């Protein structure tokens, strides 16, 4: 090393910073869809439509009827670390899906993003950003709510583009994301459309809003998403221990699968793939299933936001419980009891 070869330390510009952040937040089209649909849910939407072309590579459009963004705040929505969801002083008290203020600037850095939005009682407006370059705000004629259109995802990061799978595989991943979010929000209506090519497009998933008490609504929604066969072969679970509540439906051992595809776990309404929870599930079913079989479940752990840290990873699919042993114990014992009960009832029915 010769001393005069040393590169100087420079500040990266915003576009570069956003592209780097996007690498963590937006792995593939499905992660963009997740961020946009979560934003719609956070905005109190009752109906959310998702239009996709070419596996999300050329077009992702999410339309919601939530409370919208006022024109003067639109530029902030696109600026990094700007969020309406937390005030920064209490990272342990998170009630929304979002809180990092990173999704929209990241998407605008790696694709062509247009946000059209209107709050009730005001005119609509729109703002576009393409590869990190922001355009001036313009008026837009739309209904109350928000339409986010993302075209040419990863055009600005060709390396990432190369790693995308087939349109079909990307669409499948998008569909999985939408279905998981739909499970957690039975009172919101979802429509997923494939609008590739010309024509009207094709509805690939639809779940109308369901109402009723917690278990009625959940049962209805799980039927729409996982199928009637699942709900007919699942038992309702409702248990509580020291501030943690476990609710949902657990599939009977006779309805098990050869893989873990039908394991849906949620913490405070957030779909997660958490090792602790998956391990607890395995423990709970150990006496009822052989090792190569996997239960179908949709289970929801709810607790005060300060008992769990969702701030572990930008994609927020991992969580950290303050008391993991307690959560594991709750899941194992609640499911074992429910399954033993169901088995007992089944055997007495046969005997009688
Ligand atoms: P975060 O969700 O972490 O706050 P985002 O970058 O996803 O960060 O969004 C930035 C802000 O833009 C949000 O805090 C919210 O105020 C606003 N926003 C984004 N999407 C919507 C939407 N669909 N409806 C209303 N407001 C939205
Ligand atoms: Mg967000």
Domain CATH code at residue 74: 3.30.565.10
Instruction: Kindly give the distance from the C-alpha atom of residue 148 to the centroid of ligand 2, in angstroms, as a whole number.
Output: 12
Same domain, 61 and 167: yes
Same domain, 346 and 265: yes
Same domain, 224 and 203: no
Which of 48, 64, 83 has the most ligand 1 atoms within 8 A of CB, as the residue to mutate? 83
Same domain, 201 and 250: no
Instruction: Identify the nearest ligand to the CA of 105 by its number.
Output: 1
Beta strands at 297-302 and 234-241: parallel, antiparallel or unpaired: unpaired
322, two tokens: 């303050």
Q: What is the pLDDT of residue 315?
A: 62
Neighbours of ion ligand 2 (CB under 5 A): 39, 98, 103
Instruction: Please compute Rg for the chain using Cα positions.
Output: 22
**pTM listed for this prediction:** 0.92
Cβ neighbours of 10 (radius 10 Å) = 6
Instruction: Identify the nearest ligand to the CA of 85 by its number.
Output: 1
Residue that terminates a domain, selected from 207, 241, 266: 207
Atom 2 of ligand 1: nearest residue by CA position: 98
Domain housing 132? 14-207
CATH number for 248: 3.30.230.10
- pLDDT, one tens digit for every residue, the chain (352 residues): 666 788 899 999 888 888 888 777 788 999 999 999 999 999 999 999 999 999 999 999 999 999 999 999 999 998 888 888 887 777 667 778 777 788 999 999 999 999 999 999 999 999 999 988 999 999 999 999 999 999 999 998 888 899 999 999 999 999 999 999 999 999 999 999 999 998 889 999 999 999 999 999 999 999 999 999 999 999 999 999 999 999 999 999 999 989 888 999 999 999 998 889 999 999 999 999 998 999 999 999 999 988 998 766 666 677 889 899 999 999 999 999 999 988 877 666 554 3
Same domain, 23 and 164: yes
Residue that terminates a domain, selected from 156, 176, 207: 207
> For the chain, how many structural domains are there in total?
2
Nearest atom in ligand 1 to the alpha carbon of residue 67 is 25
263, two tokens: 């394991």
Same domain, 75 and 191: yes
Residue 5 lies in a domain: no
What 3 state SS string does the chain have? CCHHHCCCCCCCCHHHHHHHHHHHHCCCHHHHHHHHHHHHHHCCCCEEEEEEEHHHCCEEEEEECCCCCCHHHHHHHCCCCCCCCCCCCCCCCCCCCCCCCCHHHHHHHHCEEEEEEECCCCCCEEEEEECCEECCCEECCCCCEEEEEEECCCCCCHHHHHCCCCHHHHHHHHHHHHHHHHHHCCCCEEEEEECCCCCCCEEEEEECCCCCCHHHHHHHHHHHHHCHHHHHCEEEEEEEECCEEEEEEEECHHHCECCHHHEEEEECCEEECCHHHHHHHHHHHCCCCCCCCECCEEEEEECCHHHEECCCCCCCCCCEECCHHHHHHHHHHHHHHHHHHHHHHHHHHHHC
Q: What is the pLDDT of residue 100?
A: 77
Residue that terminates a domain, selected from 207, 228, 261: 207
Same domain, 148 and 20: yes
As for ligand 1, residues whose beta carbon falls within 6 Å of it are 35, 39-40, 43, 64, 66, 68-69, 77, 83-85, 98-104, 146
Instruction: Identify the nearest ligand to the CA of 108 by its number.
Output: 1
């Amino acid at each position: 090393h010769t001393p005069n070869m040393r590169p100087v330390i420079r500040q990266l510009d915003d576009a570069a910073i956003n592209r780097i952040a996007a690498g963590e937040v937006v792995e593939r089209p499905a992660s963009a869809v997740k961020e946009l649909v979560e934003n719609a849910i956070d905005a109190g939407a009752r109906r959310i439509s998702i239009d996709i072309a070419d596996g999300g590579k050329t077009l992702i459009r999410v339309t919601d009827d939530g409370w919208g963004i006022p024109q003067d705040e639109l530029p902030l929505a696109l600026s990094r670390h700007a969020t309406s969801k937390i005030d920064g002083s209490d990272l342990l008290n998170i009630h929304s899906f979002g809180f990092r203020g990173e999704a929209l600037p990241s998407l605008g850095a790696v694709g062509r993003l247009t946000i059209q939005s209107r709050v009730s009682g005001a005119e609509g407006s729109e703002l576009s950003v393409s590869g990190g370059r922001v355009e001036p705000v313009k008026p837009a004629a739309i209904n109350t709510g928000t339409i986010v259109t993302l075209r040419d995802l990863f055009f600005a990061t060709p390396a990432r583009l190369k790693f995308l799978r087939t349109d079909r595989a990307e669409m499948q991943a998008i569909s999985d994301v939408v279905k998981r979010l739909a499970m957690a929000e039975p009172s919101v209506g979802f429509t997923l459309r494939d609008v590739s090519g010309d024509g009207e497009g094709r509805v690939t998933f639809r779940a109308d809003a369901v109402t009723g008490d917690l278990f009625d609504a959940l049962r209805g929604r799980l039927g729409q998403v996982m199928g009637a066969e699942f709900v007919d072969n699942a038992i309702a679970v409702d248990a509580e221990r020291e501030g943690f509540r476990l609710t949902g439906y657990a599939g009977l051992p006779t309805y098990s699968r050869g893989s873990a595809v039908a394991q849906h776990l949620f913490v405070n309404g957030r779909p997660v793939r958490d090792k602790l929870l998956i391990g607890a599930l395995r423990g709970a079913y150990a006496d009822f299933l052989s090792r190569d079989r996997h239960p179908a479940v949709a289970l929801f752990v709810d607790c005060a936001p300060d008992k769990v840290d969702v701030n572990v990873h930008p994609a927020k699919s991992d969580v950290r419980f303050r008391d993991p042993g307690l959560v594991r114990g709750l899941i194992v014992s609640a499911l074992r009891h429910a399954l033993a009960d169901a088995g007992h009832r089944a055997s007495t029915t046969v005997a009688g």
